[in-house]
Structure 1
Amino acid sequence: MFLSFWGAKRRRISHTREIPSTSSGQALRCVQDDTLNMRIIFFGTPEFSVPAIKALAMAGWNIVAVITKPDKPVGRGLKIESPLIKTAAENLGLPVLRPKTLRDVAAGLQPAHSTERRLKPAPTFIHQLKSLKPDLGIVVAYGKIIPDAVLNIFPKGVVNIHPSLLPKYRGPSPIQAALLNGDSETGVTIMLLDKEMDHGPILAQQRMKIENTPKTVITKHDAAALNSVRMTGLALSNKLADIGAQLLVEILPKYLDGEITPQPQDHGRATFTKILERENGQIDWKQSAEHIERMIRAYDLWPGTWTLWPAQISAPAPIRSDELQSGKSQKFQSGKRLKVIRGSLLHPTIGCATNSTPGYVWQTEDGQLATNCNPGSLILELLQIEGRKSMSGQDFLHGYPKFLGAILS
């Protein structure tokens, strides 16, 4: 991993060094009391934002409020869940605000949880922010655009942690894009927000190499390949969150003391990512096995990677013990999703299927479940039918023997 600071003034900082692989969460320099006393409002929502707020709190920064999204129903049962940053903030004793909108309307706040410190209400949310007299805003994966009216509240600006090496991969899905495109490195950018998306000047960047070579298995006894770990979207997100948190507490005092001059991005080199919808996870078996394997790893957290249950198999044999005892059969209509949770490339020396059609399901000589791609074949290591538990490819084939020879779409 490499570290670079942009535009250092008093001491010219432009160097490369190794960064410890574990997150200490400790401030990396002595910070003046008047700097630590600056009033910070933190914006964040998912797990990615948790290491940053913990690092700031441990370093002694004065966080006067945490802004996050309202609770929402999740999962098949539509259970109401709170953002993870809310739980982290409560554990740190920080007040939490959950506005439905950041616009200057009288939307107000959701009723405060009994454990939250109550703040004096204001006619509008923006007035409430102003009443806190903040100096600096920090945004880490908040998940909403911060309007100009909010940005203008902060005299010292709004600092953002973005999980890519800007100007590459602006937008909402930079982690997935790095894995999907087979990049060998990525990183974190600390920047100042402006009115355009991920467009503002850069304070610091830190690079990180990623193991993004697809796993290739020769046989099911190939322990080295089977046990090798390739980076997934969730794993990369966790690593970048820790790196970003460490980098933030290191450069924040330098920025506030005027030691770092924000540097404009090279906007001509900017690339952009998109909001990922569930449909983006559907596999096209006419693509290469290498691309599909990267897709499985990149989309593991969201939107998942899936194919449609084969139309040729309308009533597969039951596999659950309670269904076997009751005599119930599993009726799956074509169009039901079959999630591919883990896969690997099949080494070309293994051979190939008798049918070359992309999406054709076959079995290798040593019993591995594979699917044709174009080119190559993918071993289906872990599968999950919509609404059921996941199972290995071999177990899946035992429960659904008619799956062999099907054409996936």
Structure 2
Amino acid sequence: MKIIFAGSPDFAAKHLSALIEAQVKIAAVLTQPDKPTGRGKKVAATPVKEVALRHGISLYQPSSLKTEETLNWFRSMAPDVVIDVAYGLIIPKTILAMPHFGFLNVHPSLLPRWRGAAPIQQAILAGDTETGVSIMRLDEGIDTGPVFLQRRCLIDRKDTTASLSERLIKIGCEALLKVLANLATLNPVTQTEAGACYAPKIDKTMARLNWQESAEILDRKIRAFNPWPVAHSVLGNEVIRIWEAEPREEKTTAAEGTILNCDQNGIEVVTGKGLLRLLKLQFAGGKILSIADILNSKKKFFITHSRFES
């Protein structure tokens, strides 16, 4: 079976590595073009490209799949199946129809819940207690295609997008290999629209905390935006990134954003409902530090009754 792998970020790269380790032959890799990244805007390859280069796999990096050149590339490759894991570009109907077994997609949610670009983050933001992975066949809709296999995964109250992603990668790789091994005999199941919802793309503007929200909601945001774009707030003239916190149900009449208590165990901030105890912070240009370490060098910023901006 001739297989093309299409993907770009680290989530996809780990699936490609798992396929290679399982001795699945990949005829070619399709990934997004190299792009400027970071503060220095240095041009960097996608994580998927790096894996492909290490293993000597042929690469194709078009900026669009809607050109005649791309169409001819697919015709010349004549794949039996394309595995799409967070590739990131729209795939035209003509190309979707080319492989005999279509395009297989690894989607990190229990479809039809959380179709779209950010299912892991949205599951945490919504307070879901369970998520999973769906292996589906792509169609023209947004994650609306029929599903071959699903695997479930509990969401822990301390899970971040980073920690949950690692578990979903593991079960996603296992599920993908199982579907590939039985592709000729499996019949995918059409998705129902009952319970369907959309997970829009995350952007940086979502990461600024509004202290009028409850401690529970703010904790979810901190975990959902770890490792990107990272929840933050302004104290004085400093933008402070908040990497870890825990909600507390204590009541107070102090204004939202007020620092109520500050010691080695955490910095307790008033929210719209309850307190949020901050546990790990990062100042601009600095390292991620525990509160104990932060207070050793930055205690002057965290005076009791000073206030974070909303």
Q: TM-score, normalization: structure 2?
A: 0.93
**CA–CA separation in structure 2 for the residues paired with 1:150 and 1:402:** 56
| Residues 390, 54 of structure 1: alpha-carbon distance in 2 compared, 3 angstrom cutoff | closer
Counterpart of 1:227 in structure 2 is: none
Tell me the residue number matched to 2:97.
152
Residue 206 (structure 1) aligned with residue 151 (structure 2) = yes
In 2, Cα distance between equivalents of 1:381 and 1:234: 17
1:348-369 deviation digits (Å, cap 9, x = unpaired): 3xxx66x610101232576631
Distance change >3 Å, CA 166–CA 367, structure 1 → 2:
closer
Matched, 1:291 2:217: yes
Q: Find the counterpart in structure 2 of residue 407 from structure 1.
A: 307
Structure 1 residue 390: deviation in Å?
2.9
2:132 aligned partner: 187
Equivalent residue number for residue 45 of structure 2: 82
Contact 2:225 2:231 in 1 (8 A): yes
- Please name the residue that 1:19 is paired with: none
Q: Distance in 1 between matches of 2:137 and 2:42?
A: 36
Question: 2:264, 2:292 within 8 Å by CA — same for their partners in 1?
Answer: no
- Picking from 76, 79, 82, the partner of 1:137 is 82
Give 1:174's match in structure 2, choosing from 119, 122, 134.
119
| Residue matched to 2:11 | 48
For residues 91-148 of structure 1, the C-alpha deviation after alignment (integer angstroms, 9 at most, x for no partner) is: 222111111111125xxxxxxxxxxxxxxxxxx1220121112111110111222221
Cα pair 1:359 1:407 within 8 Å, conserved: yes
User: For the Cα contact (< 8 Å) 1:52–1:246, is it kept in 2?
Assistant: no
Offset of residue 337 of structure 1: 2.8
**Is 2:295 aligned against 1:369?**
no
CA contact (8 A) 2:132 2:150 kept: yes
Give the equivalent residue in structure 1 for 2:175: 247
**Alignment gaps of 5+ in structure 1:** 1-37, 106-123, 213-229, 314-331
Pair 1:206–1:395, CA change in 2 (3 A): same
TM-fit CA distance, 1:347: 6.0
C-alpha contact (below 8 Å) 2:9/2:86 kept by paired residues: yes
Residue 358, structure 1, aligned to residue 274, structure 2? no
Alpha-carbon separation, structure 1, partners of 2:281 and 2:44: 27
Deviations along 1:50-76, one digit per CA (max 9) or x if unpaired, are 232223223333311101111112222
1:406 is displaced (CA, Å) by 2.2
The residue number in structure 2 matching 1:389 is 287
Bigger share in strand: 2
Q: Does 1:264 find its partner at 2:190? A: yes
Q: Matches of 1:365 and 1:305 in 2, distance apart? A: 21
Aligned match of 1:162 in 107, 113, 117? 107
Matched, 1:65 2:44: no
Name the aligned partner's letter for residue 369 of structure 1.
I
Over alpha carbons, which structure has the higher Rg?
A: 1
| TM-score normalised over the length of structure 1 | 0.71
CA–CA distance in 1 between the matches of 2:53 and 2:104?
Answer: 22
Task: Give me the whole-angstrom Cα distance separating, in 1, the residues matched to 2:17 and 2:207.
Answer: 33
- Following TM superposition, by how much is the alpha carbon of 1:370 offset from its aligned partner in structure 2, in angstroms? 1.5
- The alpha carbon displacement at 1:269 in A equals 2.5
Query: Which one is further off, 364-373 or 140-149?
Result: 364-373
Residue identity opposite 1:180 in structure 2:
L
The one-letter code matched in structure 2 to 1:65 is A
Matched residue, 1:6: none
Report the Cα distance in structure 1 between the residues aligned to 2:25 and 2:288, rounded to whole angstroms. Answer: 45
2:161 to 223, 229, 233: 233
Q: For 2:285 and 2:22, locate their aligned partners in 1 and report how far apart those are by CA, in whole Å.
A: 44
Q: Structure 1 residues 344, 152: closer, same or farther in 2, change over 3 A?
A: same
How far the C-alpha of 1:383 sits from its partner, in A, is 1.4
Structure 2 CA distance for aligned equivalents of residues 268 and 134 of structure 1: 34
May I ask how many residue pairs the two structures share in their alignment? 307
C-alpha displacement at 1:394, in angstroms? 3.9
Q: Counterpart of 2:143 in structure 1: which amino acid? A: D
**Alignment partner of 1:63: what SS?**
coil
Return the letter of the residue paired with 2:268: A
Structure 2 stretches of 5 or more lacking a match? none
Alpha-carbon separation, structure 2, partners of 1:251 and 1:367 = 48
Structure 1 191/135 Cα, relative in aligned 2: closer, same or farther at 3 Å? same
Structure 2: distance between partners of 1:347 and 1:268: 34
Given that 1:203 and 1:261 are in contact with CA atoms closer than 8 Å, whether structure 2 keeps it comes out as: yes
